[in-house]
Amino acid sequence: MAAIAPSRLATLTRLRCSIFQTSYNPTSIRTGAKYLRARLRGPSMVEYYPPEVSIAQFNRMSGGDWRIVDPQEDMRLADVEAKKRRGKGAPKKAKSKGAYIVQLLGYGICTSGC
């Protein structure tokens, strides 16, 4: 029985890969094709766990019937109030966004006794 030449086997493998639409990898290097072909796991994992509802979202959904106290939010509000008392809080917002720009440009000033 005669042995088949390696070049003929390589040609056969290349032809088989083109027919069956697989990747030709004569050196057998790792390509990760198995993982790229696999179904994604993310969507099924997201569906497995129920959506998280924060304390603020629950309080809004309940419509005032139920109120859960969030200790972290209460601490944050107390810290903000303490900073405001010391003068370290956020500056007050303008009544209208364009009012300051209008005053700078001089459009809002009436000089003829409107």
Per-residue pLDDT of 54-106, as tens digits, reads: 888 888 888 878 888 889 999 999 999 999 999 998 887 777 766 556 555 55
Q: Mean pLDDT over all residues of the chain?
A: 83
Residue 112 within a domain: no
Higher local confidence (pLDDT), 23 or 107: 23
- Other Cβ atoms closer than 10 A to 109: 9
Task: Find the range with the poorest average confidence among 13-17, 29-33, 101-105, 108-112.
Answer: 108-112
Residues 6+ apart with CB under 8 A from 103: 109
The total number of structural domains that make up the chain: 1
Contact 93, 102 (CB under 8 A): no
Structural domain harbouring 75: 40-88
Query: What is the model's pLDDT at position 103?
Result: 55
Phi-psi region of 63 (alpha: psi -120 to 50; beta: other; left: phi over 0): left
**CA 74 – CA 63 distance, rounded (Å):** 20
Residue 62 within a domain: yes
Residue 69 within a domain: yes
